[in-house]
Structure formats: C-alpha cells, structure tokens
Amino acid sequence: MPDKKFVPVMITPFNLKAKVDLDAVSTLIDFYLAAGVKGFFANCLSSEMYSITEDERLQLTEHVVRYVNGRVPVVATSSFGLTIEDKAEFTKKIHDTGIDAAILITGHYANVEDSDEILLRNFDKMFKLTGNIPLGMYECPAPYKRILGTEVFRTLLSSNRFVYHKDTSISLDSVKAKLEVVKSADSKFEFYDAHSPNGMYSLQMGARGMSSISGNFYPEILVWMVNNATNPDKQEEVKWLQSEITRVDPLIHVAYPMSAKYFLRKRGLPVRTISRATALELTPQQKQTLDEIYDSFQTWCEKLGTRPVDVASLLLPKVPLDPAI
C-alpha cells in the first residue's frame, strides 16, 4: 500500500512592500520538509493566488519547484483566464515550471447556475487543449465551491487525465462515495481531503492523504496523523488527536491566512503578518485564541512524542559551496 501523505497548501510570505518574499518561501519549504511533508500545493487559495499577478504566480511556482529540487512532488493551480483557451495557455506555462500536475478549479469550468453537462463539456475542451499534461481537480471555495457529484467525479476520472483530487465537500458520505470510485481508478491517482475534521476518517477509508490549511500552523501534527491513522496500535491516540484537531479547526479559519502567518511567526519563522487578500489586522482576541492553540500544539507534541521542528536551526546561515570542490 502506498505511503500516506500530508501535502500543505502553501501560504505566500510578503516583504514590507507587499512583494512576494522568495527567501521566506525557501525557509518555509525547509520548515515543511523538516516536519515530514511529502508534497507541496503551490499557487493555491492559501497562497492568495487571486491577489497576485500572473507573473507572480509563475515566479512563485517556479521558485518552489527549483528549491524543492525533486525531493517531493509539487502541484499548482493552473486554470486562470477568461476563456477555456486562456486557461489552457496558462496551464501550459505553469506546467513548464516543472510541476508534477496542473490543478484545475472546478468552479472555473461552469457558472454557479450551470448544469453538470456544461461543466463536463468545458473540461473535455480543456483536455483537448492541454495535450498530455497531468491534471488535478480542486473544489476551491472561490470563486464559488463547485462540489463534484459522484457520477461527475466518475466521468472525469474515466478521461484518464487526472492524477490528483483535493476534496472540500466536508461531507464524509461524499468522500466515501468518491473513494469507492477511486478504487477502480489508475493506481497513480491521489485523493486528498482538505477538511481537517475528516482526517482520521477519510484516511481510514482510503484517502491518499490530507491537504488542509492546518498544515500552515502545525504540519508535524498532520504528518503524525497521516502516518498513524491506520496503525492499529495507535488508535487511542489517533482518536484523541482527531478530537483536538476538530476542536480548534473553526478557530484557525478565522482571519485566515493572516492567522497562519501570525502562528508561523510565533513559531519563529520569518513570515510577516502582511496579506494582499485582507488588509485587516488580527484583533487582540484573535491573537489570544491563536496563542492558546499554540499552547495546545505543544501539549499535542508532548503527548504524541513528536518534537516540533527546530525553527532556529533552519535560520542558521547556509554555508555556500566551495566553487573549487
């Protein structure tokens, strides 16, 4: 059975001029990898992809691919543009950065009032315009959340173009039905649940992994969950941890991604509380809530025997390679 994976939906650090801070991105990648993640989702909603330019989306994704340097797979959202042709063109551009799969937002292929037939027709057109580029599906909450029904999901999988799905349905019944479809799909297809309160359940039902915003707060905890959800010797701890993750999940969504940036900065990472998606500052009450969750995170690590990433060691000056070697 393939290893389970935690794949973070990457946030985008900005400098004091609200420009993408690529040095901070590199440190963030080091942090995620030290936590044990097995992939990256770049240029996603957590990355504030709707608030950065097309050039920045490409620059950011290219930097992630180059810095990761093949250590784990990288995927990125690609379905930008007014027309299907525009979306296909940008998909080719971002695929050329070296990503492992180009992710298509389901809400980009039909308006909210459109039928599933229109959605499937537009996806089919996209397939024809993108050659053999490996694709993924993303039920992104913006511009609106287009949840795929089981039969639509089955039809899309039968195209043999998809290798990845990020599910945001929240409904365990929906997740279970889709995972039944996945059983007959190509073994390369990977199903990820975005809803942290589903984690234990979807992993035990056969999901390949998790890809939730909680990984931008405490990735070590999510890595522990994907590694142990199906371990018969760890079920007591798994159930306890799932209850804890579920308890704090609504709280970390408040003022996100600013909440994640505050939390990561509290952990010592060079991530400023600067966002293009929101100009609002965190309130004192929101900061206090996040401080309390940070204390809970420390307790979780102690109970599970998991050491938090030593962020200070990631910030040590990197010794340049001797050109004579």
Q: Average pLDDT, stretch 254-283?
A: 93
pLDDT digits (tens, 9 = 90+) for 142-175: 999 999 999 999 999 999 999 999 999 999 999 9
Complete domains list, the chain, with CATH = 5-314 (3.20.20.70)
pLDDT digits (tens, 9 = 90+) for 191-224: 999 999 999 999 999 999 999 999 999 999 999 9
Question: Which SS3 state, helix, strand or coil, does residue 314 take?
Answer: helix
Distance CA 282, CA 16 (A): 17
Which parts of the chain fold into alpha helices (H)? 22-35, 54-68, 84-95, 116-129, 150-157, 172-182, 199-204, 219-228, 235-252, 258-266, 284-304, 311-314
Distance CA 322, CA 141 (A): 47
The Cβ of residue 204 has, within 10 Å, a number of other Cβ atoms equal to: 12
Nearest 10 degrees: Cα torsion 22, 251, 225, 74: -30
54, pLDDT greater than 50: yes
- Residue 6 is encoded by which pair of tokens? 């935690």
> Residue 181 contacts by C-beta under 8 Å, 6 or more apart in sequence?
150, 153, 154, 157
Single pTM value for the model: 0.94
pLDDT digits (tens, 9 = 90+) for 285-320: 999 999 999 999 999 999 999 999 999 999 987 655
Distance CA 71, CA 81 (A): 31
Identify the pLDDT of residue 188: 83
Local structure of residue 297 (DSSP, 8 states): H
- Of the two residues 277 and 225, the one the predictor is more confident about is 225
DSSP letter string, 42-71: ESSGGGTGGGS-HHHHHHHHHHHHHHHTTS
